[in-house]
């Protein structure tokens, strides 16, 4: 029987392996050197590389990337910021949500090279286990998750949602486009609809966001 720490280690390795094999589907063929990765059928295809520099969580980072690399893969595989998650990889689930220039986006649906000079905040930049962002603390307090896979995206999205409301950006459920916004449960749920939680922790997520927004859910 493995000890808990061994299990943690092998689980971690397994997850890394899974993430890597997903990434290699789209990653540079130059990386296809490890025996575990099957050779790509189109190895003869020329790889186009490009340099990009951007600010991630307050640090300037410069990377040379295959142009195909999404912002999500650049963050996870090149900068090792694995908090942002790859769920569907097609902009449908929101697990990859990060904040770029103050706005939440799906990092899986944008190329890293398109972000020259941008400021990017990931879940790692919002807070740390010892110094959590109020939204992170509220998710813990209200149990706004079960498996946790969608959580970094939910939290980045939620932080940006409150900024969008503060900026007066209306939503589909705003009753009057020209009146001050009401911070209702329906508003939060509509605005969070791009973040899917397969465990169905939505009511607790809404409670966590409501608390940070300063209103009862």
Nearer to other proteins, 93 or 138 (CB): 93
Contact between 161 and other proteins by CB under 8 A: the answer reads: yes
Burial 81-99 (b: 16+ CB within 10 A, else e): bbbbbbbebebebbbbbbb
Contact between 189 and other proteins by CB under 8 A: the answer reads: yes
Residues 6+ apart with CB under 8 A from 215: 183
Contact between 38 and other proteins by CB under 8 A: the answer reads: no
Stretch that binds other proteins, among 11-19, 62-70, 119-127, 205-213 (CB under 8 A): 62-70
Residues 59, 81 contacting (CB under 8 angstroms): no
Nearer to other proteins, 1 or 179 (CB): 179
Task: Looking at the chain, list the stretches that DSSP marks H as alpha helix, in order from N- to C-terminal side.
Answer: 4-24, 71-73, 123-126, 134-141, 151-166, 185-191, 202-213
Chosen residue from 37, 91, 140, 146 binding other proteins by CB under 8 A: 91
Stretch that binds other proteins, among 9-17, 78-86, 132-140, 162-170 (CB under 8 A): 162-170
| Min CB(48)–other proteins separation in Å | 5
Contact between 124 and other proteins by CB under 8 A: the answer reads: no
**Gap between the Cα atoms of 87 and 104, Å rounded:** 16
Residues 6+ apart with CB under 8 A from 14: none
Contact set with other proteins (CB under 8 A): 26, 42, 45-48, 50, 66-68, 70, 89-91, 94, 97, 103-106, 109-111, 113-114, 116, 157, 160-161, 164, 167-172, 174, 177-178, 189-194
């Amino acid at each position: 029987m493995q000890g808990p720490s061994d299990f943690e280690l092998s689980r971690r390795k397994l997850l890394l392996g899974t993430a890597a094999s997903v990434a290699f589907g789209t990653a540079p063929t130059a990386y296809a050197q490890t025996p575990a990765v099957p050779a790509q059928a189109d190895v003869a295809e020329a790889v186009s590389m490009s340099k990009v520099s951007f600010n991630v969580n307050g640090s300037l980072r410069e990377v040379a990337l295959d142009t195909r690399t999404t912002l999500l893969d650049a963050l996870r595989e090149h900068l090792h910021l694995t908090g942002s998650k790859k769920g569907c990889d097609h902009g449908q689930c929101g697990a990859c949500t990060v904040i770029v220039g103050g706005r939440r986006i799906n990092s899986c649906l944008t190329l890293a090279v398109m972000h020259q000079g941008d400021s990017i905040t990931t879940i790692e930049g919002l807070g740390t286990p010892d110094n959590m962002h109020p939204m992170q603390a509220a998710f813990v307090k209200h149990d706004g998750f079960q498996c946790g896979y969608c959580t970094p995206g939910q939290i980045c999205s939620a932080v940006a949602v409150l900024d969008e409301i503060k900026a007066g950006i209306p939503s589909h459920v705003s009753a009057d486009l020209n009146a001050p916004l009401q911070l209702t449960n329906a508003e939060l749920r509509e605005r969070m609809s791009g973040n899917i939680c397969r465990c169905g922790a939505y009511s607790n997520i809404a409670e966590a966001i409501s608390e940070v927004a300063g209103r009862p859910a």
